[in-house]
Structure 1
Amino acid sequence: MKYLCLVLFGLMLFNCKEEKAEIKLSADEIVTKSIEKSGGEAFDNSVIRFDFRDKFYVARRDKGQYSLIRMFKDGNDSVFDLLTNNNFDRFINDSRVILEDSMKSKFSASVNSVHYFSVLPYGLNAEAVNKTLLGIEKIKNKDYYKIKVTFNPDGGGEDYEDVFVYWFDCKNFKVDYLAYSYNEEDGVGMRFREAYNERYVEEIRFVDYNNYQAEDNKLELFDLGKAFEEKKLKLLSKIELKNIQVELLNQ
């Protein structure tokens, strides 16, 4: 019996050390592990195609160069948007459209936003991204690393002032929840997203989201996880990617 107690005590100490070791991970290390679990290098060498609502999207990423495409019908017109490392262009019925800078920024941001959310957490290790580990928070009886993400003005995109919070599963490092604040022409607000329908296509993880909003305007962004746990958020919409196809490059 004495021997058994010693063994159990040793196991308890071992588990405590393991837990402390995980807690000591930095925000960068957590995000890096999450990217590896969700696709890793496959993100950087792939062509991804999917439908989102009434539009068709294509993302080609190859050795640091990217082309992000959006195609849709507008009445009788066919619209083709192309965002690359260097520029944004819009074509209507195969003819390039000259855009004012304000419209170019608006369309560029909307194209980038859909592609950005489609492959999360890919992109969170970019140079313009700032990450802060806020601690561990429990949602639905699971422990999550809670990380705040902000962006530098230089390289952070049109919406660099937006603030994000991500919840990474402490065991498998996958992103199960995220929240963000936004400030756009049609208003300011916050959203909370719950991932579901996880699937892997050619090594890359994809999820859909339940998209929630706070009914209490006094809630802070960093409290949305707790508000979700307490069922204080209202389901606003679903974010669903359909007909996903992935082609891995340089294989």
Structure 2
Amino acid sequence: MRYLIFFYLLFLISCTQVEKALSAEQIIEKAILFSGADKIGNSEISFKFRDKKYAAIRKNGNFQLFRNFTKDSASIKEVLTNNGFQRLINMQVVKVPDSMVSVYSSAVNSVHYFSVLPFGLKDKAVRKKLLKATTLKGKEYYKIEVTFSEDGGGEDFEDVFIYWIGKEDFLIDYLAYSYHTNGGGKRFRVLKEACLKNGVRFVDYLNYKPLNSAVSLIDIDIEYESNQLKKVSEIILEDIKVKFLN
């Protein structure tokens, strides 16, 4: 009888452990909630990145993403919406060659996409895969691979992302991605500093590339801990403002 009780207890413990296991979808949902990104769907956000100003208006699935800068004494404004891309020079709409529409659109979308992560990881085109958990710099992380379906995944749907999400705080401290534009490559971003603006977490990153371009994206964190990455830039957002819409 004692043995039956013992095995029954083991069975209950095993079942409890299974029940506590989180799926990739659940982990992303918690990451969105814990970072305050669940509020971004109805908001106005603006910031400065390098020499350009960015602003985004998102409301009930509709979006307007702006980029403003000056080039050769001309004022340039770019707008990406659900309906397409538009470019204005000195407040006048200009015709953009078809070959450049995707280039400009991607440049605008990319900065906005990274600025509000993990917002956007719930899109229908996003495919999530839970990888083997890992420990990085003494902290335990869930490791999630994100790819995109061709339908709705945008121009860069072939890109692959990996996110390191803290097991205790559900915050993204590291991310990596492989890309195919401009000859392709891999990058690994490391949290430099995080701040809260109106309850939404924004992160500045140190941006690295592998010394060995053949390294697998899934192992790039191992390369980082082995000092096999080279710092190429810093991703720093300035003058961040957040306003929520009703």
Q: TM-score, normalised by structure 2?
A: 0.92
Q: Which residue of 2 aligns with 1:181?
A: 178
Question: Could you say which residue in structure 2 is the equivalent of 1:50?
Answer: 47
Distance in 2, Cα, partners of 1:129 & 1:52: 26
> What is the CA-CA distance between 1:175 and the residue it aligns to?
0.5
What pairs with 1:124-163 in structure 2 (closer than 5 Å)? 124-163=121-160
Q: Establish whether residue 206 from structure 1 lines up as the match of residue 202 from structure 2.
A: yes
The 5 Å alignment of 1:9-158 reads: 21-22=19-20, 24-158=21-155
Alpha-carbon distance in structure 1 between the residues aligned to 2:136 and 2:26: 21
Distance in 1 of aligned mates of 2:18 and 2:37: 26
Aligned to 1:219: 215
Counterpart AA for 2:56: A
Matched to 1:224, the amino acid is I
Q: Letter of the aligned partner of 1:229 in structure 2?
A: E
Note the C-alpha offset of 1:164: 0.6
Counterpart of 1:3 in structure 2 is none
What is the identity, as a one-letter code, of the residue corresponding to 2:111? V
Equivalent pair of 2:28/2:118 in contact (CA under 8 Å): yes
For 1:17 and 1:226, the matched residues in 2 are separated by 32
CA distance in 2, matches of 1:99, 1:139: 45
Correspondence for 2:6: none
Q: Is the 8 A contact 2:139 2:166 kept in 1?
A: yes
Alpha-carbon distance, 1:20 to partner: 5.8
Per-residue CA deviations over 1:179-228 (Å, capped at 9, x if unaligned) read: 000111x2111000011211110111101000000001221111101111
In structure 2, runs of 5+ residues without a counterpart are 1-11
Listed as ranges, the matches of 1:163-174 within 5 Å are 163-174=160-171
**Distance in 1 separating the partners of 2:78 and 2:138:** 43
CA distance in 1, matches of 2:17, 2:204: 30
Q: Among residues 233, 238, 243, which one is paired with 1:247 in the alignment?
A: 243
Equivalent in the alignment of 1:7: none
* Aligned counterparts of 1:103 and 1:218: Cα–Cα separation in 2: 30
2:189 aligns with: 193
Which residues of structure 1 form unaligned runs of 5+? 1-12
Amino acid at match of 2:90: N
Classify the secondary structure of the residue corresponding to 1:172.
Answer: coil
Q: Deviations over 1:53-81 (max 9, x none)?
A: 00000011111111000000011100000
Q: Aligned equivalents of 2:150 and 2:239: distance in 1?
A: 35
When residues 244 and 19 of structure 1 are mapped into structure 2, their CA distance, relative to the original with a 3 A threshold, is farther
Q: Distance in 1 between matches of 2:54 and 2:168?
A: 32
Amino acid at match of 1:189: G
- Aligned-partner SS, 1:131: strand
Question: Counterparts of 1:238 and 1:20 in 2: how far apart (Å)?
Answer: 40
Secondary structure of 1:135's aligned partner: coil
Question: In structure 2, do the counterparts of structure 1 residues 51 and 152 end up closer, same or farther at CA, with 3 Å as the change threshold?
Answer: same
Whole-angstrom CA distance in 2 between matches of 1:220 and 1:152: 21
Aligned Cα root-mean-square deviation (Å):
1.7
1:233 aligns with 2:229: yes
Q: What percentage of residue pairs aligned between the two structures are identical?
A: 47
Distance 1:141 1:21 in 2: 26
Give me the TM-score of the superposition, normalised by structure 1: 0.90
